[in-house]
Amino acid sequence: MNFLKKIFNWYNIRLVLIFSILIIVFGFSKQRNDQKNITEIKIELVQKNENLLNQSMVNKLLIENFNESKKVEKKVINLNHLEKDLNKHPMIEESNVYLNVKGELVAKVFDKKPLARILYKNESRYVDKKGDLIPLSKNFSARVPFVSGSLSMIKKPMFLELLQSIENDRFFKESITAIDINNKNQVYLYQRGHDYLIVFGQPKDIHLKMSNFKVFYQYNAKNNTINKYKIINLAFTKQVIGSKIEEDEQ
């Protein structure tokens, strides 16, 4: 019985020794690894068909955290802090910063997508899906509608849904050049290559109104009558009302 007890105790002692050695080795290895410098900074841009950002812009933001030096020990890097700094940039939607096994600092960055353009405090700005303002980029010019009038609507979900719907619809995205909002939140659209005014009304029943307009447009374009209208009213969802140009106006 004593013999078995001795074996059991020796077995436990060996386990303790093995675990202790592993902890020491792991700690030593981690310490050496932490003392190593970053070998390289890699930028991965995940862009939404736009190019507002480029690698040098993101790289500059990261380098600013290292006092303009890449020779930084891994242990002094705060990945969460780097992500928060990147996410403060008005062109960045989201970022993910991590260290890979090669000792490289990797930043995976998602840029914001402009849906419209406005004039804010005498400066042009883009607007994204949240209604947030994005500065113009020297790297790329987004082809989006210019919005004017009552800009308080910019932050409202119903108007942002309209902007997103225009962006997602190829016909509207390629043809709508401007949007005007009056003080009663009535929306007016302007179409490339045509002089008529599209009265969209309140930004409600958006997909139905867009569908109604495309049917109306295709029918009149086929019959060469589309440019005979001065106003196309979509405010009444059950019908499209077109006001034609009077003969003395032609």
CA nearest neighbour of 227 among 194, 200, 198, 249: 194
The verdict on 241 and 156 lying in the same domain is yes
pLDDT value of residue 32: 45
Please tell me the distance from the alpha carbon of residue 44 to that of residue 180, in angstroms, as a whole number: 37
Predicted confidence at residue 18, as pLDDT, reads 64
93 and 44 in a common domain:
yes
Which of 111, 141, 168 lies at the terminal end of a domain, its last residue?
111
Asked if residue 157 and residue 242 are part of one domain, the reply reads yes
Q: Are 158 and 238 contained in the same domain? A: yes
For residue 5, being part of any structural domain is answered with no
Reading the chain (250 residues) residue by residue, the pLDDT tens digits are 555 455 545 556 666 656 655 565 444 444 444 444 566 778 888 876 567 888 888 888 877 766 544 554 545 477 888 888 889 989 999 999 888 877 788 889 998 999 999 998 889 999 999 999 999 988 888 899 999 999 989 999 999 999 999 999 999 999 999 999 999 999 999 999 999 999 999 999 999 999 999 999 999 999 999 999 999 999 998 889 999 887 545 4
What is each CA distance from 237 to 104, 205, 234, 241, in whole angstroms?
A: 56, 7, 6, 10
pLDDT of residue 229: 96
Residue 144 lies in a domain: no
Q: Is 142 helix (H, G, I), strand (E, B) or coil?
A: coil
- 146-187 confidence digits (pLDDT tens): 999 999 899 999 999 999 999 999 999 999 999 999 999 999
Q: Answer whether residue 179 is part of any domain.
A: yes
239 and 171 assigned to the same domain: yes
The confidence score (pLDDT) of residue 42 equals 83
For the chain, how many structural domains are there in total?
Answer: 2
Residue 7 within any structural domain of the chain: no
Query: Is 53 contained in some domain?
Result: yes
| Domain membership of residue 177 as a residue range | 150-249
* C-alpha to C-alpha distance for 244 and 227, rounded to whole angstroms: 9
CATH of the domain at 93: 3.10.20.310
Whether 138 is covered by a domain: the verdict is no
The CATH number that applies at residue 207 is 3.40.50.11690
Query: Does some domain include residue 195?
Result: yes
Does residue 91 lie within any of the structural domains?
Answer: yes
The pLDDT score that the predictor gives to residue 68 is 46
Please state the separation of Cα 114 from the chain's center in Å.
Answer: 7
Neighbours of 34 (CB within 10 A): 12
Q: Where are the alpha helices (DSSP H) in the chain?
A: 2-34, 55-64, 79-87, 157-168, 170-175, 206-222
239 in the same domain as 174:
yes
